[in-house]
Amino acid sequence: MKNLIVVIIIGFVFSILSSSCEKMMGNFLDKAPGVDVTADTIFSSQINAETFVTEMYYKGMYSDLPMDDNLDSWKDCQTACCDDEAEEVASWFWSHDYNNGLIGPTYYRYFSDFHNINVDPRWTQRWTAIRNENILLERIDVVPETTPGYIDKAKGQARFLRALSYFEMLKRYGGVPIVRKPLGTTDNFKIPRSTFKETVDFILGDCDTAALLLPDKWPPAYRGKATKGAALTLKARTLLYAASPLFNTNDPYMNLPGHNDLIGYGNFEISRWQLAADAAKEVIDWAPSGGVFLITNQGVTNNYRYVWEIPDNAEIILGSKMQGPSTADNCLAFIAISGFYSGWGGTTVTQNFVQKYEKLDGTPQTWDPLGGNNLNQKYSELDPRFEQTIAYNGSYWNVDFPSLKLWEGAVAPSTPPLLGCYGGYWSHKFLPRSCTQTVAAYRTWFIFRLAEAYLNYAEALNEAQGPVPEAYNAVHIIRSRSGMPDFPAGLTKEQFREKLRNERSIELAFEDHRLYDIMRWRIAENEGVMQGNMWGIKIYKQADPSTEFSWVPYVFETRNFNRRFYLLPFGQIEIDKRYLIQNPGY
């Protein structure tokens, strides 16, 4: 007994001091079996891998509202509020800071977030999306027992989504770092910016590969996945941007000494426009094989609205499916109107924008600077797309608000929408008429729709070759389905350009195009575009029995555009890490 205990104690002490003592302690501290999911689990079967493909869409499709910092929250406003289309009513939305010229590398949005708020809140999300795409490209090959073609299609989707994220950065920043694999602790993660050209070529490479790998059409159950057409359209849009004056120039908007190749090509080549035109043409030619058509069968006063109101219609090449159905309280919460249900803000449309709507005969509408007494009449003369886009005085919103009362002194039930309605209009687009407090509706957000390809084609062709018949024809297809006449014959290249830019702003209104079109055209500094006065109208009801309204234009906001805003700044927190060259002016 005595000896035994001595032996035990000595053995105990010795084993502690010996090197293998951890083994002696057994497996008491091992993690008990649990529900671990690792990368190996994900890429062990097609079903699991498909969840990761879904994840690529979740993070990689840009969200319903393009500059939101979260994927599916409702905190931000449309980019339309930063250009001459509109303004956001709620004062805390970021468009006000943008329009006041307060954007900077340490731009702060809220008073509590004094530090390091990146001007582009989705910057980090995009890199996460790119990481996901790189992970998939790296690992998808090992997934066993996949159905034929599955792996190629997964890769095609990854390539397309990676290109999409890169394009979103290209248009905001110019050239950005190119990351081709998921970075780990031991990798060099201070990758410098690639040149503008390298970034464009990288996007084009991904688009070309994706177009080869992706199907023309998915089965209906997979509607919403990237198709060959989506890859082609992204390529066309990329080339259009690349050919545009902001980048396709030897005279950059500002000088970035030694690094002008980051913010543009550094020279002008007219052939870039031809490339853009060819790519757009390729989309148009592809469309029938993808089952994609312009909506022309709903009548000239309804074709246009049908495209944004009816989900999964034939004109959509690729739509975001981030948002499920929602009732008015959620659906309208912030992009629409405070006072409608529980809306927080509202996109109030400017008179600057309304004046872009031509009359039915294709001539500009006249708006007297001193106002007038014939508002209903003015509206009735406009392009039918006005009624299908804008909520104006007397227009139908939905069953709850059948006739909006936006005049001074209007009373319930539609007085609340007057609050903050600086422009005298609200935007109706993307808020379906069927959506009420009790009826949930799907909202459709386009990434690409076919009409864009026609306008891209017309613009690029005009720039490359002048107003050739094909350019006229492309415009004709778009305008005629909304009952608008063709452009007058015999326009010069410049005249055609001006008409086309107007047409593009009308057709693609509130679709996240105009802000970046203004940038790539370098017209932001023009009075009334992103600089200077934003006009609204005050509306007055005329004495009964007249049903007419008077209107008086007034300036509701004066904006400042700093030339440096043509490209966004990188956040100071990233600049401080000393691997990025900041864009000029910041």
Residues within window 165-184 making contact with another protein, judged by CB under 8 A: 177, 179, 182-184
Q: What b/e string do you get for 517-533 counting C-beta neighbours within 10 Å, with b at 16 or more?
A: bbbbbbebbeebbbbbb
In this chain, which stretch among 4-12, 346-354, 507-515, 542-550 interacts with another protein, using CB under 8 A?
Answer: 4-12
Report the residue number, 185 or 547, with the smaller CB distance to another protein: 185
> Interface with another protein by CB under 8 A: which range of 189-197, 374-382, 408-416, 561-569?
189-197
Query: Quick one: CA dihedral 109, 111, 116, 122, positive or negative?
Result: negative
User: Tokens in use for 443?
Assistant: 């909202």
| 474 Cα distance to chain centroid | 24
User: In the set 245, 266, 311, 394, which binds another protein (CB under 8 A)?
Assistant: 311
By rule CB under 8 A, what string of x and - marks binding of each residue 225-254 to another protein? x-----------------------------
Tell the smallest beta-carbon distance from residue 59 to another protein (Å): 8
36 binds another protein (CB under 8 A): yes
Residue of 48, 355, 365, 437 that binds another protein (CB under 8 A): 48
User: Of the two residues 30 and 527, which places its CB atom closer to another protein in the complex?
Assistant: 30
Shortest spacing between CB 71 and another protein, in angstroms:
7
CA atoms within 13 A on the CB side of 312: 10
Q: Does the footprint of another protein cover residue 54 (CB under 8 A)?
A: yes
| Binding segment toward another protein, per CB under 8 A, in 31-39, 457-465, 469-477, 548-556 | 31-39
Q: How far apart are CA 236 and CA 448, in angstroms?
A: 11
Measured from the CB of residue 124, what is the shortest distance to another protein in angstroms? 5
Binding residue (CB under 8 A) for another protein from 50, 198, 512, 525: 50
Residues in 347-406 at the binding interface with another protein, rule: CB under 8 A: none
Residue 38 near another protein by CB under 8 A: yes
Contacting residue, 16, 142, 270, 399, with another protein by CB under 8 A? 16
The answer to whether 222 contacts another protein (rule: CB under 8 A) is: yes
For the record, the structure tokens of 247 come out as: 């980048």
55 is a contact residue toward another protein (CB under 8 A): yes
Give the ranges where 338-468 is alpha helix by DSSP (H): 351-354, 375-380, 384-387, 450-465
Block residue for tokens 């909304």: 482
State in angstroms the smallest separation of the CB of 176 from another protein.
9
Work out which of 268, 306, 442, 521 binds another protein, going by CB under 8 A. Answer: 442
Closest by CA to 213, choosing from 145, 288, 144, 161, is: 161
Stretch that binds another protein, among 57-65, 199-207, 279-287, 469-477 (CB under 8 A): 57-65
Binding residues for another protein restricted to 91-150, rule: CB under 8 A: 100, 102, 106, 108, 111, 114-115, 123-124, 127-132, 135
Between 339 and 467, CB nearer to another protein = 339
Please state the separation of Cα 388 from the chain's center in Å. 21
DSSP E strands, 411-521: 425-427, 445-449
Interface with another protein (CB under 8 A), residue total 80
Say whether the peptide bond before residue 402 is cis (omega within 30 degrees of 0): no
As to burial, measured by CB atoms within 10 angstroms (0-12 exposed, 13-18 middle, 19+ buried), residue 89 is: buried
Task: Give the helix/strand (H/E) hosting 532.
Answer: strand 532-541
Q: Show the tokens assigned to 287.
A: 């469309």
Alpha carbon distance 414, 419 (integer Å): 10
